[in-house]
């Protein structure tokens, strides 16, 4: 990192190389401080230098500093860095770690105040679900309808907000667990205390309860006196319980202690798991007289990339405000590419990567960052076809995901009923009430007669070997498979798969699941159906999957990284591809429907994070048509594309593709050698859609309040007009953004 000002030969070594705002963050030790650290601005260096400075100036001993990180890895790295800054001497006795680790350390000293002993056990996720399931069964609550893991997720979210059972109205959980979820929460907490245990949420919850209880004012005062300095990293990601714990510790004698929080409100992207961006936004209100220090000099990206990211995030209203800049040259403008459809987008990205590779770019420094996990399939397929080494980071490859393996197992049994491994995988998925006794009876019969599991079931249901209930269940299952197999002769394999997922109850199982990852699993299943359309038959598709799985062995060569935008936070690459920038996909329609403006602003912060992962090149792409669940769906460029500042982007789109209000053309050379003719020849051309996309953007007949009808979404009311785009509140389809040419006036 370059120094921003001449070095002072008398400065300690750990201050050398810091720019003025970084140095100010290190040396401002008295009172509350908020360091707004933009992406790539060297905040880790400033944070570790601040810790070293406190120790070297004798302001505090290590055990008088509370330093909070979000991961154990970050805590370990901070410990090593501070030790290195202090000449390699170890730093012992300090309070450095994650929220949960530090809270657990405190709780062991005061466990008796919440009915535990200091030897309490911390149970893991599986034990939590198992315990809750036992309690649900005791209350005769249907654990098939109300999945214990989903119910545990709701309880955990209550704990993240520091809410005890006594803080909740009896019916706070709505219909969840038959309206008894608050009651179950209370029973769950009582059971944990009875066995001297707590879960991860309890670590902070119990400490918050102790520290805010007037009966234990002496405990709070003791901890407040102990910590002379409090430092918190990634403050924008704190939840309510973490926030309350910090505030309690940071208030002393009615005044704010020496608390320094480091974070970036523009990178708060974890609202779905409890993070509250409001914690960092109201820092000055929580700690009057706080000093705000902005780290805005970026050491990662080029000028055009930073300007593009800043242009997008400036549209958020709830932010403290900062503008990133760099001493580096402007570099290449951010490329914005409009493609006809998903396959064309995957071809474009793959060919661009091949072109970069021929120019000497390392695949390790190239990333494809998607908004949703289902998007990875088309890129995986294309990279496999071209032999481009790649890896999925933070998740499994598409065909390795549990829900995809389950769906494939159903399809394998349809295609080949004697596939025992496939049938064993899904015979009780979703739950069909087939117990160990019934399964053992079938397996014993199969082995005795040397039959496949399928044939053994078909055989045994005609006897009285099984009790009536499992016999009927097995009979219906075999009948389903026989019917689906028969439909292969008259129905497209994509339609059959969609029907099978519905009739088997597998899709309904995930639709009823309230866990955070359930919507993503449903999207993956829909993408599976979409991907099958590329193959002539079910056997062709299953053979393709088998070959893909066989070829996905470990590869030690340089690889392109494919991952979600959420997983990419904190990482950086020379070149970043950002596909799927379409309204409804990004920003996510589900996020906007569930959280309104707050959800939209978090999606915009995600766009900011994505762009700022790039050092040298950022390529954004969108398509006009996506094949979704076997149906072609019109797509509009993301509103974030329109928010990119024109001076810092270079826009091009295929013929007939909506150009986001800017000039749309392909230059004569194409991009990375891609063939426009090949692209258009391999994708369906819908004449009415193409004409609509070419219509004038300035002449439209609709105003706010008009009633209109859309072929897909039905009737709705126009709530906003943005050029040719209409924001419509559909009567049954929620809020959508569509082109005005795809609706007609509704006469009522």
* 661 marked as part of a ligand binding site: no
Query: What are the residues whose beta carbons fall under 8 Å from the beta carbon of 440, sequence distance 6 or more?
Result: none
Q: Which of 315, 361, 326, 327 lies closest to 577, judged by CA?
A: 361
Alpha helices in 122-199 (DSSP H): 125-138, 148-160, 181-194
**Per-residue b/e over 29-67, b at no fewer than 16 CB within 10 Å?**
bebbbbbbbbbbbbbbbbbbbbbbbbbbeeebebebbbb
* 350 marked as part of a ligand binding site: no
For 528, the token pair is 């599976």
CA dihedral (360, 362, 363, 364) in degrees, to 10, reads -170
DSSP state of 11: S
| Alpha-carbon gap, residue 589 to 742, rounded angstroms | 19
665 in helix, strand or coil? coil
| Alpha-carbon gap, residue 528 to 508, rounded angstroms | 16
Q: Is 234 a catalytic residue?
A: yes
First to last CA, the chain: 66
- Catalytic position from the list 160, 233, 265, 286: 233
For 265, 308, 556, the CA distances from 303, given in Å and listed in that order, are 21, 9, 34
Q: Is 2 a catalytic residue?
A: no
- Catalytic position from the list 43, 397, 605, 737: 43
* 599 marked as part of a ligand binding site: no
Query: What are the residues whose beta carbons fall under 8 Å from the beta carbon of 692, sequence distance 6 or more?
Result: 739, 741, 742
Q: Is 347 a catalytic residue?
A: no
Query: What are the residues whose beta carbons fall under 8 Å from the beta carbon of 126, sequence distance 6 or more?
Result: none
For 166, the token pair is 């006594």
The beta-strand segments (E) located in 8-123 are: 33-37, 65-69, 95-98, 121-122
Q: Which of 622, 673, 680 lies closest to 656, judged by CA?
A: 680
| Alpha-carbon gap, residue 488 to 688, rounded angstroms | 32
- Catalytic position from the list 202, 234, 286, 351: 234
- Catalytic position from the list 24, 28, 44, 534: 44
CB atoms within 10 A of CB 667: 7
Query: What are the residues whose beta carbons fall under 8 Å from the beta carbon of 100, sequence distance 6 or more?
Result: 200, 203, 204
* 372 marked as part of a ligand binding site: no
φ, ψ for residue 385, nearest 5 deg: -65, -35
- Catalytic position from the list 48, 183, 224, 267: 267
* 659 marked as part of a ligand binding site: no
Q: Which of 49, 62, 57 lies closest to 15, judged by CA?
A: 49
Instruction: Please confirm whether the linkage preceding 31 is cis (ω < 30° from 0).
Output: no
With left for phi above 0 and alpha for psi between -120 and 50, is residue 661 left, alpha or beta? left
* 677 marked as part of a ligand binding site: no
For 507, the token pair is 């899709």
726 in helix, strand or coil? strand
Residue 730: its H or E element? strand 725-730
CB 135 within 8 A of CB 143: no
* 41 marked as part of a ligand binding site: yes
CB 615 within 8 A of CB 302: yes
Q: Is 43 a catalytic residue?
A: yes
Q: Which residue has the tokens 């076997």?
A: 630
Q: Which of 261, 123, 259 lies closest to 193, judged by CA?
A: 123
For 580, the token pair is 């799927």
Q: Is 44 a catalytic residue?
A: yes
Long-range contacts, 62-65 (Cβ 8 Å, 24+): 62/91, 62/92, 62/93, 62/94, 63/93, 63/94, 63/95, 63/226, 64/226, 64/227, 64/228, 64/229, 65/94, 65/95, 65/96, 65/227, 65/228, 65/229, 65/230, 65/231
CB 224 within 8 A of CB 252: yes
The beta-strand segments (E) located in 44-105 are: 65-69, 95-98
* 38 marked as part of a ligand binding site: yes
Q: Which residue has the tokens 């105003």?
A: 703
CB atoms within 10 A of CB 473: 18
For 293, the token pair is 């220090």
- Catalytic position from the list 159, 425, 521, 613: 613
**How many CA atoms within 13 Å lie on the side-chain side of 642?**
16
| Alpha-carbon gap, residue 6 to 22, rounded angstroms | 14
CB 107 within 8 A of CB 203: yes
- Tell me the binding residues: 37-44
- Tell me the binding residues for ATP: 37-44
**Active centre residues (catalytic):** 43-44, 233-234, 267, 613
């Amino acid at each position: 990192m370059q120094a921003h000002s001449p070095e002072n030969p008398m400065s300690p070594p750990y201050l050398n190389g810091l720019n003025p705002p970084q140095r100010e963050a290190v040396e401002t030790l008295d009172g509350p401080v908020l360091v707004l650290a933009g992406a790539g601005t060297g905040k880790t260096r400033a944070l570790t230098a601040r810790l070293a400075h406190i120790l070297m100036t004798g302001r505090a001993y290590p055990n008088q500093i509370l330093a909070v990180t979000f991961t154990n890895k970050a805590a370990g790295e901070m410990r090593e860095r501070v030790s290195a800054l202090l000449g390699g001497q170890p730093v012992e006795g300090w309070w450095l770690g994650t929220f949960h680790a530090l809270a657990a350390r405190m709780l062991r000293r005061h466990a008796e105040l919440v009915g535990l002993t200091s030897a309490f056990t911390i149970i893991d996720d599986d034990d939590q679900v198992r315990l809750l399931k036992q309690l649900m069964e005791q209350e005769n609550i249907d654990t098939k309808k109300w999945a214990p893991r989903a119910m545990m997720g709701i309880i955990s979210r209550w704990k993240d907000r520091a809410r005890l059972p006594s803080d909740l109205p009896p019916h706070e959980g709505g219909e969840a667990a038959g309206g008894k979820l608050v009651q179950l929460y209370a029973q769950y907490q009582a059971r944990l205390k009875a066995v001297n245990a707590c879960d991860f949420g309890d670590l902070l919850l119990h400490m918050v309860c102790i520290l805010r209880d007037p009966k234990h004012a002496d405990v709070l005062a003791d901890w407040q006196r102990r910590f002379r300095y409090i430092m918190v990293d990634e403050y924008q990601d704190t939840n309510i319980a973490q926030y309350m714990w910090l505030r309690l510790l940071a208030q002393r004698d009615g005044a704010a202690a020496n608390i320094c929080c480091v974070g970036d409100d523009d990178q708060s992207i974890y609202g779905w798991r409890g993070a509250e961006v409001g914690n960092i936004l109201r820092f000055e209100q929580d700690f009057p007289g706080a000093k705000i220090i902005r780290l805005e000099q970026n050491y990662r990206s080029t000028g055009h990339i930073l300007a593009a990211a800043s242009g997008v995030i400036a549209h958020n209203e709830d932010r403290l405000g900062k503008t990133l800049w760099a001493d580096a040259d402007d570099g290449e403008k951010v490329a914005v590419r409009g493609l006809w459809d998903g396959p064309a987008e995957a071809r474009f990205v793959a060919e661009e990567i091949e072109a970069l590779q021929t120019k000497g770019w390392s695949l390790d420094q190239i990333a494809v960052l998607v908004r949703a996990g289902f998007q990875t399939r088309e890129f995986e397929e294309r990279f496999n076809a071209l032999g481009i080494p790649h890896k999925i980071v933070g998740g499994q490859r598409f065909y390795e995901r549990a829900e995809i393996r389950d769906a494939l197992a159903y399809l394998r049994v349809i295609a080949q009923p004697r596939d025992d491994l496939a049938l064993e995988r899904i015979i009780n998925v979703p739950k069909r009430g087939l117990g160990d006794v019934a399964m053992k009876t079938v397996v014993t019969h199969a082995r005795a007669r040397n039959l496949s599991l399928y044939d053994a079931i078909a055989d045994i249901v005609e006897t009285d070997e099984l009790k009536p209930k499992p016999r009927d269940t097995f009979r219906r299952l075999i009948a389903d498979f026989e019917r689906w197999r028969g439909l292969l002769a008259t129905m497209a394999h994509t339609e059959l798969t969609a029907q099978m997922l519905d009739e088997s109850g597998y899709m309904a199982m995930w639709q009823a699941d309230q866990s955070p990852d359930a919507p993503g699993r449903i999207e993956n299943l829909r993408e599976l159906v979409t991907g099958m359309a590329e193959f002539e038959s079910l056997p062709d598709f299953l053979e393709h999957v088998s070959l893909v799985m066989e070829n996905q062995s470990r590869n030690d060569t340089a690889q392109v990284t494919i991952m979600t935008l959420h997983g990419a936070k904190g990482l950086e690459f020379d070149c970043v591809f950002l596909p799927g920038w379409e309204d409804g996909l990004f920003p996510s329609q589900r996020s906007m429907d569930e959280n309104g403006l707050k959800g939209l602003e978090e999606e915009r912060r995600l766009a900011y994070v994505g762009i700022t992962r790039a050092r040298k090149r950022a390529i954004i792409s969108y398509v006009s048509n996506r094949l979704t669940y076997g149906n072609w769906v019109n797509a509009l460029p993301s509103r974030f594309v329109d928010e990119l500042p024109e001076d810092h982007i270079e826009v091009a789109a295929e013929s007939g593709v909506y150009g986001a209000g800017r000039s749309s053309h392909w230059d004569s050379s194409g991009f990375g050698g891609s063939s426009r003719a090949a692209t258009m020849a391999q994708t369906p051309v819908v004449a009415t859609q193409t004409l609509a996309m070419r219509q004038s953007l300035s002449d439209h007949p609709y105003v706010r309040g008009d009633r209109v009808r859309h072929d897909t979404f039905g009737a709705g009311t126009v709530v906003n007009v943005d050029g040719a785009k209409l924001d419509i509140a559909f009567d049954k389809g929620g809020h959508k953004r569509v082109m005005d040419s795809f609706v007609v006036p509704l006469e009522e």
